[in-house]
A = this chain, B = another copy of it.
């Protein structure tokens, strides 16, 4: 059922001659399907088709778009084991994760369907006319949100479903009335094609215009073609800083620059107070061993940096954290390249002066299974060396031992932008929690108190984004219903007769 073809506005095509196959990272062998990268001409057709669809799609009622989104959810569920198995073969992730991520994907689609069932999400704003105002009358003004146009979505390597083909970017863009062209992630092109098939079926069943969705196979050139195309009006991306920044640069240099929301790297600092360590160090070690290794550490909210204050109890805690972490069975990474990146970047951090490895899984490991690593360094060494501030994507965490609270806050202030920051503390903690929260809040998008950063709830109050390089625009979120704001713009109607106003602005 997986053809290896590109979906160009509902038609499956493979005119190109550049072939590739996905990899089963557990066995380190290629999966059987041969995929054909989309040609420039096919991308051109997808963009043209999306633009045509936009003219119809943007006028459709929210109820119709909601039906489409719900139908996508239904069709994804109908793929059943074929989807789950393809997902596992292409990602090395376990069945429970596949099923969980599918559930999240379906939930996101249905959340956006609910959101656009009525028109309140458009932030409709009304200013009544004041014909008698002096010195000049005030006109009637009504404002609403309209979609930007076709959106290019880049699938994420680490979330083949929830942040990929029918993930949050696609769901929010379609909900807003924007056609979507997905550049599938080459590591899970089969999963992407199955989901694309589900979307096409849903589009046909609910009477959507041809071109409302396309799915492109390809690498860097396909991404460049898409982001440069004049008919593409916005970009959604989840992935590395290098990749996101390249797309941002490309989009900014266009004759007509377009917004890029790229959610990128993060080391997600966790501040653990000495009081918390004294009171529940063992529990924290267990909890954080779990969070650090969850999904083989391949989450953008993985806690890669733990900030503590020096002391005997802290040293014991670090030992225990290392013990608990390496006691967890290593799991397989998504791809040999991800494994290679983990090794290189991990090595880069632990080879820095002052860094000591506290624990490192040293059993025998098959193919792409990753050894978890806990390392430690002093606050002053960390402050001096920005190379230690870089993300190590995988089951790795660096524990910084600060001399005192001042140094700890200095470290927070000096960090690059982050998706999350976490504060582990006690009531009446001796740490100045107000100061810590103040410092954290200016470096991150979300602050968690006495919890773990992994696990990103899909709800209106979620902020999944943050100052650069956590994202390219900290004013938006990638997760939750507010993520729809990325793809819309306001338009005002002045002194309009009722009949010409959009229906939801009439009263």
Contacts and interface: CB of A to CB of B under 8 A. Distances in A.
A361 interface: no
B495 A463 contact: no
Interface stretch (A133-141, A209-217, A330-338): A133-141
Contacts of A427: 497
Number of copies: 2
B496 A461 contact: no
Interface string A458-469: 011111010111
Interface residues of A, number: 66
A165 interface: no
Nearest to A446: B492
A415 interface: no
Contact of A491 (B446, B455, B459): B446
Contacts of A434: 500
A385 to B, nearest CB: 18
A252 interface: yes
Interface in A473-498: 473-475, 477, 482, 485-486, 488-497
Contact of A459 (B141, B249, B259, B486): B141
B259 A139 contact: no
Nearest to A447: B493
Contact of A473 (B259, B417, B444, B467): B259
Contacts of A491: 441, 444-447, 463
Contacts of A126: 461
B257 A447 contact: no
Contact of A449 (B450, B462, B494): B494
Interface string A46-77: 00000000000011000000000000000000
A472 interface: yes
A125 to B, nearest CB: 4
A355 interface: no
A339 interface: no
A474 B148 CA distance: 9
Which of A136, A143, A146, A467 is the most central at the interface, judged by chain B CB atoms within 10 Å of its CB?
Answer: A143
A474 B492 contact: no
A503 interface: no
A496 B143 contact: no
A251 to B, nearest CB: 9
Contacts of A224: none
A382 interface: no
Interface in A414-468: 417, 427, 433-434, 437-438, 441-442, 444-451, 455, 457, 459-463, 465, 467-468
Nearest to A413: B55
A256 B449 CA distance: 28
A444 B488 CA distance: 13
Contact of A482 (B463, B490, B494): B490
Contacts of A451: 139, 494-495
A451 B473 CA distance: 37
A122 interface: no
A342 interface: no
A492 B475 contact: no
A248 interface: yes
A248 B259 contact: no
A126 B461 CA distance: 6
Contacts of A417: 256
Given A126-B461, A257-B468, A461-B143, A438 B493 contact: no
B475 A489 contact: yes
14 contacts: A125-B482, A139-B451, A141-B457, A248-B257, A252-B257, A256-B469, A444-B491, A445-B489, A446-B492, A449-B496, A450-B495, A463-B490, A475-B488, A477-B490
Interface of A: 58-59, 125-127, 136, 138-139, 141-143, 146, 148, 248-249, 252-253, 256-257, 259, 417, 427, 433-434, 437-438, 441-442, 444-451, 455, 457, 459-463, 465, 467-469, 472-475, 477, 482, 485-486, 488-497, 500
Given A252-B252, A445-B490, A449-B500, 20 more contacts: A58-B442, A127-B459, A141-B459, A148-B474, A248-B252, A248-B257, A256-B417, A257-B472, A433-B500, A441-B491, A446-B492, A447-B491, A447-B492, A448-B494, A449-B493, A451-B494, A467-B489, A474-B489, A475-B486, A477-B490
